[in-house]
Structures are given as C-alpha cells and as structure tokens.
C-alpha cells in the first residue's frame, strides 16, 4: 500500500471519529405510548360486546368519564373525555368496531 493511500485512509478514519465525537448526542426521552382511537378501530378483536363492556373498553383506551348514551340496536353510543376534549363515540355491537368519533361541546 502506498503512503498516499495509507495517509488518505487514516485521515478518513480520523475525520469520521472526530465527527462522531463532536456530533451532539441527544438525551434519551422518556418513553410514552400514544393510543390512537379512531373510526374503524376494533376494540374487541371482532367479537360482539355488551353495553357495559363497550364503556369499559373505551376507558382502557384513554377515555375518562365514559357514559352510556344509547345501547339499543346495532350501535352503542357513549360520551367521554380524552385529553380535555369531549367526544361522542359510536361502537358497532356485533364486532366492537368504532364506527364514529365526534368532538362535542356538550358534557
């Protein structure tokens, strides 16, 4: 190997090492999970649900103050608060799938 090639490769190695040392190292952030619940989310893996079970499933997805509004028919309707925002959520009874999520100003 020639002196030029040796000098070039060691210069490249030194440059890369210096770049790694000088580059800012980001402090690790605290891990956080975001659960996104939107229209189309299946809460019960495709199995049918009861009205109280739907409310319980919404609570486990981050909604607080979940109230049952209408549990007659094919769709169950609930109201709940998530991150300070009020929502009205409709869940299909036969498979536990969220079919509608609406922001509401009513409590």
Give the model confidence (pLDDT) of 48-81 as tens digits.
899 999 999 999 999 999 999 999 999 999 999 9
**Alpha helices (H) in 1-107, listed in sequence order:** 3-22, 51-60
The alpha-carbon radius of gyration of the chain (Å, integer) is 27
At residue 31, the pLDDT reads: 46
Per-position b or e across 54-91, b if 16+ CB within 10 A of its CB:
bbebbeebebeebeeeebeeeebbbbbebeeebbebbb
For residue 90, what are the CA distances in angstroms to 25, 36, 56, 81?
46, 16, 14, 14
Residue of 46, 60, 31, 24 lying closest to 97 (CA atoms): 46
How much is the pTM? Answer: 0.59
Q: 20: pLDDT confidence band, cut at 50, 70 and 90? A: low
Give a yes or no: residue 12 inside a domain.
no
Give a yes or no: residue 11 inside a domain.
no
**CA 80 – CA 100 distance, rounded (Å):** 13
Stretch 9-32: mean pLDDT, rounded? 57
Give a yes or no: residue 71 inside a domain.
yes
Structural domain harbouring 59: 51-103
Give a yes or no: residue 73 inside a domain.
yes
Q: The domain that contains 70 carries what CATH number?
A: 3.10.450
Give a yes or no: residue 40 inside a domain.
no
């Amino acid at each position: 190997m020639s002196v030029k090639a040796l000098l070039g490769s060691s210069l490249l190695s030194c440059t890369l090492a210096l770049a790694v040392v000088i580059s800012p190292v980001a402090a690790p952030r605290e891990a956080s999970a975001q659960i996104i619940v939107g229209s189309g989310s299946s809460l019960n893996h495709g199995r049918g649900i009861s009205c109280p079970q739907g409310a319980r499933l919404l609570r486990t997805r981050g909604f607080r103050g979940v109230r049952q509004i209408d549990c007659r028919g094919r769709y169950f309707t609930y109201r709940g608060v998530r991150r300070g925002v009020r929502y009205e959520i409709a869940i299909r009874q036969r498979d536990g799938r969220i079919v509608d999520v609406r922001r509401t100003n009513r409590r």
